[in-house]
Amino acid sequence: MKITTLAIRRRIATAVITLALVVLGIYSFVLLPVNFLPDITYPLIKVHIYWRGATPEEISTNIADPVEQQMAMVDNLDYLESSSIEGMYTLLANFKYGVKVDVAYQDALAAMARVARKLPKDIDPPLVFKADPSQLPVVQLTISSDTWDLTKLRTWTENWLQYQLQAVPGVAGTDIVGGLKREIRVHLDPNAIEKFNLTLPAVMKRLQEENIEQFGGRVTVGRREFIARTLGEYRSLEDIRNVVLANGGAGKIFLKDVARVEDSHEEVRVITRLGGKAAIKLSVLKQADANTVEVARAVSKRIKELTPALPAGVKLGMVENQADYVTAALNGVRNAAVEAAVLVILIIYLFLGSWRHVWVLLLALPITLILNFGLMKLGDFSLNIFSLGGLVVAIGVVLDNSIVVLENITRLRQEHPEEEGAALAERGTLEVGPAILAATLSFLALFLPFLLVPGLTSLLFRELILVIAGVFLVSLALAVTLTPMLTAIVVGREKGGHKESRFLRWFKTVTAAYGRVLEQSLRHRRLVLAGFVLVLVGALVLFPWLGSEFLPRMDDGRVMVKVKLPTGASLAETNKLLSMVEE
């Protein structure tokens, strides 16, 4: 291999290039985002349509049917899932894997535009968005107060607190649940409506007409130009009460003549409590390409900065911080990697019996991992449990190529003590080069086909498989360049090789015992084969009892209780039951 010859004869150049790549790898490691799971983008489009006051039957007939008929004609659609509950319709459009999510999104928008004219006029504008698993809350906090009511607390959260948190770098948005959302209610008097010969649609129309603020043109005065606007939005309850509905024979008819106007809140459909006390939950969502840990820590820091400025009696409580879970999971994987590396080095020393040889491999191990971080950055990967899991899987065999090269060069040194170390290193690498290349390609052939598996499996395990492949390719490159170069230096200083270690002498005894067992097995082949057949049959019988699951269960220290009540159960009944569960 010409590259091996160059690496051995140009030691300084080899060292400088390796050092430069290591620096780039460390720099890439610093830039890698940290997340719990890899970035998974699959073609799932969500549609939400709100129709206040509508029953599930009305939503199913007037919204679900026309929307699903139109969406069913979209190209590359796999299947649809929908739910119709009081006041809301939800549709999940699952496209075939391989379809670009942006294309699916545009097709869904076009379908919704075509069906818009068939939908009821009083619905809210349909919400169409791409499903993004990374849009899970990175921080969830509660807002409570001993002095404010839930309406005032919700209004303050919407108008001030959420914007303070949305300004944090990496935050995509916030989601507020609970509390009481302010609502101005108009209670019409049926007798007064009939007395003044008014109708409900006419009253609604007048309320909408009077609550308009729009551009009114431009006015030029001398050299200056002014923009005119109609200031028609309601500023107070009195503005609403004084809306003129009609001009009767006895004069103007105001809204206050036929209705009672009050400052209230929307109908309660969600209840949020913390420690048995009513509260508001605010979830902070991160941007898709943002670092989960950094965003969570930045939000936590911002909350601490805002605490002194909170109104009297208002309290913020952190109930969930994804940084804690991600850090704990990644630390567990990191510790496993360190333990694996220590065990690998220890075992290598026991078999090689020379710390000089161990140092050659001890340099190759971290360099391989560091260079792989550069490949991860090029592949737009992140540090997550799958990519780090790939590193852990590869650590056990990442030094195989270097061990083969090192051991062969050491053998040649013992057989030819008079030759120079550089010549021995070059010849030893050339002898085993084709073998380690074939072994590496064979190992990659075991993993790479998983990338061809359609569906979520390929998306989820893609980083793990490619990280393993990257580690093996880097290890192969180092085995034919850096390892022979360092080994040439080591064996060049040895005279007649090194003495056989006590462990190797013991291992030879074990090998001899194994040889005797193998000899007996060959003499009783039928009995051995029958035993293995019995073991195989037993394994096949027990295999169905093992069970299977897509991902292993994880214990993140939380307990979640889900209670399902019979269809039609009221919110009050649900609240009563859950209060008992809390106690």
Tens digits of residue pLDDT in 493-545? 555 555 566 777 788 888 899 999 999 999 999 999 999 999 999 999 998 88
Tokens of 358: 């161990």
Mean pLDDT over the full length of the chain: 85
Q: Predicted confidence band at 17 (pLDDT cuts at 50, 70, 90)?
A: very high
Domain count, the chain: 3
Percentages helix, strand, coil for the chain, rounded to the nearest 5?
Answer: 55, 20, 25
- Are 32 and 84 found together in one domain? no
Q: Give residue-wise pLDDT tens across range 344-375.
A: 778 877 877 777 777 888 888 889 889 999 99
178 within a domain of the structure (yes/no): no
pLDDT of residue 26: 94
Residues 14 and 95 in one domain: no
pLDDT band at 550 (very low <50, low <70, confident <90, very high): low
Domain end position, chosen among 214, 238, 265: 265
State both tokens at 542.
Answer: 């027990």
Query: Can you tell me the distance from the alpha carbon of 411 to that of 431, in angstroms, rounded to the nearest whole number?
Result: 12
DSSP codes, 502-541: HHHHHHHHHHHHHHHHHHHHHHTHHHHHHHHHHHHHHHHH
Count other C-beta atoms under 10 Å from residue 43's C-beta.
Answer: 24
Could you please report the per-residue DSSP string of 383-427? BSHHHHHHHHHHHHHHTHHHHHHHHHHHHHHHH-TTS-HHHHHHH
CB 253 within 8 A of CB 246: yes
- The CATH number linked to 372 is 1.20.1640.10
Q: 165-182 pLDDT, tens per residue? A: 999 998 888 888 888 888
Same structural domain for residues 392 and 359? yes
Contacts of 570 (CB under 8 A, 6+ apart): none
The least confident of 260-264, 277-281, 454-458, 545-549 is 454-458
Residue 77 domain-assigned (yes or no): yes
Answer yes or no: do 121 and 257 share one domain: no
Residues 31 and 54 in one domain: no
Same domain, 449 and 468: yes
pLDDT in tens, 423-449: 888 888 888 989 999 988 988 888 888
Point out the least confidently predicted range of 240-254, 300-314, 386-400, 542-556: 542-556
Average pLDDT over residues 307-313: 89
Residue where one domain finishes, among candidates 265, 283, 307: 265
How many beta carbons lie within 10 A of that of residue 541, not counting itself?
Answer: 9
Of 400, 396, 387, 397, nearest to 333 by C-alpha is 387
Query: Which amino acid makes up residue 296?
Result: A
Q: What is the pLDDT of residue 372?
A: 92
In a domain, 157, yes or no: no
Q: Do 340 and 486 have their domain in common?
A: yes
Pairing mode, strands 88-95 and 273-274 = unpaired
Q: Are residues 259 and 380 in the same domain?
A: no
pLDDT at residue 343 tops 90: no
**Residue finishing a domain among 131, 166, 201:** 131
Q: Report yes or no on 343 lying in a domain.
A: yes
CATH number of the domain that residue 252 is part of: 3.30.2090.10
Mean pLDDT of 80-95: 90
Please give the residue that has the higher pLDDT: either 172 or 329: 172
Domain assignment present for residue 92? The answer is yes
Q: What is the pLDDT of residues 472-499, one digit of tens each?
A: 999 999 999 988 888 888 765 555 555 5
Residues 23 and 76 in one domain: no
- CATH code: domain of residue 120: 3.30.70.1430
- Asked if residue 411 belongs to a domain, the reply is yes
Q: Are 110 and 255 within one domain?
A: no
- Where does residue 96 rank: exposed (0-12), middle (13-18), buried (19+ CB within 10 A)? middle
Q: Are residues 29 and 60 in the same domain?
A: no
Supply the pTM of this predicted model: 0.70
Assigned domain for 84 exists: yes
Q: What are phi and psi of 467, to 5 degrees?
A: -65, -45
Claim to verify: residue 22 and residue 73 sit in the same structural domain = no
Amino acid at residue number 455: G
Q: What pLDDT, on a 0 to 100 scale, did the predictor assign at position 477?
A: 92
pLDDT of residue 156: 93
Range of the domain at 212: 183-265
Is residue 239 assigned to a domain? yes
Rg for the chain (alpha carbons), in Å? 36
